[in-house]
Amino acid sequence: MPKSFLISDKADYGLCGMRLKFSVLLLICLFRGLAGMSQVCSALGQNPSTAFPVCGTNTFSQTTVPLCGNKSVPGPCSDTDPITDRNPFWYKFKCFTSGTLGFLITPIDLSDDYDWQLWDVTGHNPNDVYTNTSLFVACNWSGESGLTGASSAGSKIAVCAGYGQDLFSVMPSLIQGHDYLLLISHFTQTQSGYGLSFGGGTASITDTTRPGLLQSTTSCDATSITIQLNKNMKCQSLAANGSDFSLSPAIANIISATGAGCTGNFDMQFLTVNLDRPIPPGNYSIVAKNGSDGNTLKDYCDNTVPVGASSNFTIFPMQPTPMDSLARLTCAPSQLQLIFRKNMRCTSIAADGSDFTVTGPAGVTVGSAMGNCNTDGLSTVINLQLSQPLTVGGQYTITLQNGTDGNTLIDECGQSTPAGSTLSFTIKDTVSANFSYTVTPGCVTDIVNFSHDGAHGVNQWQWVFDNSSANTQQTQLQLPALGEYHVALAVSNGFCADTFATTVVLDDAVKAAFEIPEALCPQDSAIFRDHSGGRVTAWNWDFGNGDGSTDQLPRPQFYPIDLTDRQYPVRLIVFNSAGCSDTLLQSLKVVANCRIDIPSAFTPNGDGLNDYLYPLNAYKASDLLFRVYNRYGQMVFETRDWKVKWDGTIGGRKQPSGNYAWVLSYTHKDTGKRFNLKGNTVLIR
């Protein structure tokens, strides 16, 4: 039975114990349970987006559990049983050392049924756990009551609903740097709570970074200081009266402090302390101390910011915010990113870019301007989109002017940056990696000189020759005078870069090559086909039969008929116009017989005479198949290559003497006729 419909809630037992018919009893208990779960979970920690931040060193106690929830939870157990987050609390943590996670959930009332499920939410919205099944890591929805969790006692990573199921799952593996969400669901309809503790695994979910103050800034009127912490810390550890901090020099009093986002979350990374009066321009420090709550700020593991930790800041006299700098420029930039020391009001930026002009060696206009605006409509950067990329090197100047919106730029404190303000920058020319080369020819090797003009300030070269690199400005290679070589060059002037690749074809040498028949049958003519390489201008053939030729494609040649096979040397010498030459000598086999036949007997005794069974002289056979069978009809040999011969064995075991049947099929190359033959051969030992 699905867990959603099990009637075992203590809070409903009295009503369900009345003497009613079973069907009425079941309906009353069912609707009573569903009514308790119809409320939306609104308390902090009861939904994924407000999960409790936890670490591995503390035990987390939840004394009461509000009745709410019942939202479907996907996972490997939801296919057969409707799993829901009933009366839930959620916990979030990061893995700082990879390993296994062990934890224990201890109900205050050991007769309560608690369940849990774990997700890896790295890079995801926490609420994706309700829809994305791929985030699942581990779970335990056992219908039993008592202690539950993940430990070495577990046998499965996913334990689904039902009585008799294990209360402990296998310890899941965590990955360093990943973020996780743990749901604890209270199936029993009571508000009795539980304790959560971590241990037994090898993973670390404890951040060992010491809490500290990262940086601080002041408001425009210098009556408040915003502090950025080096990591998220507990909102409840901040004293609302600001007593966790002091100002040095103490020319104003801190009267209150608020954490950013603490209204709907457990933790903060920014906080603001408020002063009883503005402080004048100068250098200051905000210093941590024990507040009226008896501590400084605490991280998830209750580690505190050290007393005396400080952050320095400077209040400058009220003045316009200049265009401070540019983000790092790239080659041929089509966009410029202006950086400001203060936040600028996005409403003061003319979207058409008319607040700016850009002058320099090449003409360009600003087509649009846009800030990276936050929710308060402020931005410390403005992106200028240019009408075309800047490809000509030199010094350029950005000049501020009143745009079509009637103003220049206005910072968060209401100060306008004066028209005529400028910011200069320098870029370098774009470069070309196109290179040239010259060839000094040779009959065996060519000398190839590669060069690049070094224009536009190029000072870095990376040559690649057929995947072999050389770091030189000019390079000389000796290469075989016949072939194709892939050459690539990457150049840079320290700002712009380019690559160029080409194939260098060398054909100054010649290479003799020709095709001859595999074997020549009696009365057949031999046709020789030239495949020589390079710019061949002359051919000299010697066919070994007393004949020769100077043609590239010589006439067919005939050879004497003999009683035995003979070898004839065939030679080709090729020349080019530069006098380079190459010679190739091959042997032509002229056979005495091309009649295809099968021996009537063979003697596989290793004496070199009749040791094998195969189709003899099958030079003119194509699509050949030869099979041999023993007297039991078992095939003992098969081949489609007539030169592969049977040696009278099977798997290295000698076969007995006797008759062996064979079948042979092939197509005659000259006539195209198909032959299907069969017969017997005697194996003699």
Q: What's the chain's average pLDDT?
A: 91
Whether the CB-CB separation of 161 and 141 falls below 8 Å is answered with: yes
Question: pLDDT per residue over 299-312, tens digit each?
Answer: 999 999 999 999 99
Q: Would residue 207 count as lying in a domain?
A: no
Which pLDDT score is estimated for 260?
94
Whether the CB-CB separation of 540 and 572 falls below 8 Å is answered with: yes
- Three-state DSSP at 579 gives coil
The pTM of the full predicted model, rounded to 2 decimals, is 0.53
- Three-state DSSP at 476 gives strand
Rounded CA-CA distance 67/88 in Å is 8
Whether the CB-CB separation of 385 and 343 falls below 8 Å is answered with: no
Q: Are residues 583 and 606 in the same domain?
A: no
Which pLDDT score is estimated for 22?
37
Question: pLDDT per residue over 173-192, tens digit each?
Answer: 999 999 999 999 999 989 99
Rounded CA-CA distance 189/27 in Å is 16
Largest CA distance in the chain: 124
Q: Are residues 219 and 348 in the same domain?
A: no
- Residues 7, 11, 12, CA angle at the centre, nearest 5°? 50
Q: Would residue 67 count as lying in a domain?
A: yes
Q: Would residue 208 count as lying in a domain?
A: no
Question: pLDDT per residue over 496-509, tens digit each?
Answer: 999 999 999 999 99
Range of the domain at 89: 10-198
Q: Are residues 25 and 172 in the same domain?
A: yes
Residue 255 C-beta-side C-alpha neighbours within 13 Å: 9
Q: Would residue 565 count as lying in a domain?
A: yes
Chain centroid, CA 660 distance in Å: 63
Q: Are residues 498 and 408 in the same domain?
A: no
Domain boundary among 459, 481, 507: 507
- Residue 176's nearest CA partner among 89, 263, 98 is 98
Q: Would residue 484 count as lying in a domain?
A: yes
Instruction: Specify the residue for token string 């032959």.
Output: 675
Rounded CA-CA distance 53/335 in Å is 41
Which pLDDT score is estimated for 6?
37
**498 forms bridges with which residues in the sheet?**
491
- Answer whether residue 317 shows pLDDT above 90: no
Rounded CA-CA distance 261/476 in Å is 67
CATH of the domain at 582: 2.60.40.10
Query: DSSP secondary-structure letter at 291?
Result: -
Q: Are residues 16 and 123 in the same domain?
A: yes
β-strands 581-590, 621-629: how paired? Answer: unpaired
Which pLDDT score is estimated for 32?
38
Average pLDDT over residues 639-652: 95
Question: pLDDT per residue over 233-286, tens digit each?
Answer: 999 999 999 999 999 999 999 999 999 989 888 999 999 999 999 999 999 999
Phi, psi of 236 (to 5 degrees): -70, -10
Number of domains observed in the structure of the chain? 6
Instruction: Grade residue 553 by pLDDT with cuts at 50, 70 and 90.
Output: very high
Chain centroid, CA 257 distance in Å: 44
β-strands 136-142, 158-162: how paired? Answer: parallel
Q: Are residues 128 and 82 in the same domain?
A: yes
Indicate the residue type of 571: R
> Could you tell me the sign of the dihedral formed by the alpha carbons of 410, 415, 421, 422, in that order?
negative
- Answer whether residue 36 shows pLDDT above 60: no
Instruction: Grade residue 433 by pLDDT with cuts at 50, 70 and 90.
Output: very high
Q: Are residues 228 and 306 in the same domain?
A: yes
Q: Would residue 292 count as lying in a domain?
A: yes
Residue 210 C-beta-side C-alpha neighbours within 13 Å: 5
Phi, psi of 22 (to 5 degrees): -60, -40
Q: Are residues 679 and 635 in the same domain?
A: yes
- Three-state DSSP at 302 gives coil
Whether the CB-CB separation of 220 and 413 falls below 8 Å is answered with: yes
Instruction: Grade residue 625 by pLDDT with cuts at 50, 70 and 90.
Output: very high
CATH of the domain at 30: 2.60.120.380
Q: Are residues 304 and 332 in the same domain?
A: no
Q: Would residue 180 count as lying in a domain?
A: yes
Residue 15 host element (H or E): helix 13-16
Which pLDDT score is estimated for 28?
36
Average pLDDT over residues 667-680: 96
Domain boundary among 452, 476, 507: 507
Rounded CA-CA distance 308/648 in Å is 96
Give me 193's structure tokens.
């709570």
Domain boundary among 590, 618, 640: 590
Q: Are residues 226 and 194 in the same domain?
A: no
Q: How many other CB atoms are there within 10 angstroms of residue 85's CB atom? A: 26
Distances from the Cα of 18 to the Cα of 5, 32, 35, angstroms: 19, 14, 19
Q: Are residues 232 and 339 in the same domain?
A: no
CATH of the domain at 238: 2.60.40.1220
Which pLDDT score is estimated for 15?
31
Whether the CB-CB separation of 181 and 90 falls below 8 Å is answered with: yes
Phi, psi of 378 (to 5 degrees): -125, 155
Give me 140's structure tokens.
């335990």
Q: Would residue 496 count as lying in a domain?
A: yes
Instruction: Grade residue 8 by pLDDT with cuts at 50, 70 and 90.
Output: very low
Rounded CA-CA distance 250/653 in Å is 103
Comparing 33-42, 180-189, 583-592, which segment has the lowest mean pLDDT? 33-42
Rounded CA-CA distance 419/411 in Å is 14
Q: Are residues 80 and 152 in the same domain?
A: yes
- Residue 219's nearest CA partner among 252, 262, 249, 241 is 252
β-strands 282-288, 245-248: how paired? Answer: antiparallel
Residue 32 host element (H or E): helix 22-36
Rg of the chain over Cα atoms, rounded to whole angstroms, equals 45
Comparing 3-7, 155-159, 168-172, which segment has the lowest mean pLDDT? 3-7
Instruction: Grade residue 58 by pLDDT with cuts at 50, 70 and 90.
Output: confident
Rounded CA-CA distance 383/388 in Å is 15
